Structure 1
Amino acid sequence: MESINHPIFGKPILRGDEALVDGGVLANVPSHCLRRQGANVVLAVDVTTKLSNDFCRDPKHPGRLTAPGYLRTLLRVNDVSLRSLSGIHRSGSDYVITPDTSAHTFDDFAAGRELMDRGREAAEAALPEIKERLVKVYQAIDSPSR
């Protein structure tokens, strides 16, 4: 299974009579799909909550703005759209882990290790609250009906 197939970067994958693109285009945090499949608890990770802070910044002179190219602008529009859509789709989650990815852009594929570290740190920080919520959910499930 392909892990990313965004229309900006590649052609749709053709399967049978369907043309498929990355599901994140429509629902980057698809918690509603899990609810429809009967999940009692939905834990999500949303990496789109904080926009990169270097858009239009000149790398040599961070205090200056420079005009971005077409692709950079398109990727920024994509980031803003994903952020907005994620907010809508997050509402179906019981808990959302939000690692700080603002130092990276959508196409920062070389930063895999650092991004995984940010995700791990955010998950570890969230564990106490997640465990507390899970205890409450399972107590409610296990308690006899009134």
Structure 2
Amino acid sequence: MKAMVYRRYGGPEVLEPAELPEPKTHVDTVLVRVKAAALNPADLALQAGALDDALDTYFPVIPGWDIAGVVERPGPATPEFSAGSEVIGYVRGDVQRTHGGLAEFVAADVRTLVRKPGTMSFTQASGLPLAGLTAYQAVVHALNVQ
């Protein structure tokens, strides 16, 4: 599969296109064909090596925490999604270990996915996960809006 990767820490100059094996899925994961992915400031910080002391990084890294796409192949213990389900996801936990969103495919734990809102394009929906989570935390937890 085609992907954008970095093999060392740095700025935009370390990103390069690569051909990598398709990610493997497990019992409770699905293979998602990525239609759109979003980058956030955290992606840039990780790529720059800002969290090298706190996180194990396995190069090459495919950046991108936020994705929107279509389930290509569901795992055997994923009844919530079937092939063809349109989903969005916040796949942060998998980026440093396996695959992020700037790729043709990502293997995502079903706990990191929800159905894509039908009124949103894939591009719009890919920007929702981290920004939406941040807004939710601000409104509900920080501001205590009831």
Interval containing the TM-score (normalised by the shorter chain): under 0.3
Per chain length, whose mean CA-contact separation is higher, i.e. which structure has more relative contact order (CA < 8 Å, sep 6+)? 2
- Greater fraction of residues in helix: 1
Using structure 1 for the length normalisation, give the TM-score.
Answer: 0.25
Rg larger in structure: 1
- Greater fraction of residues in strand: 2
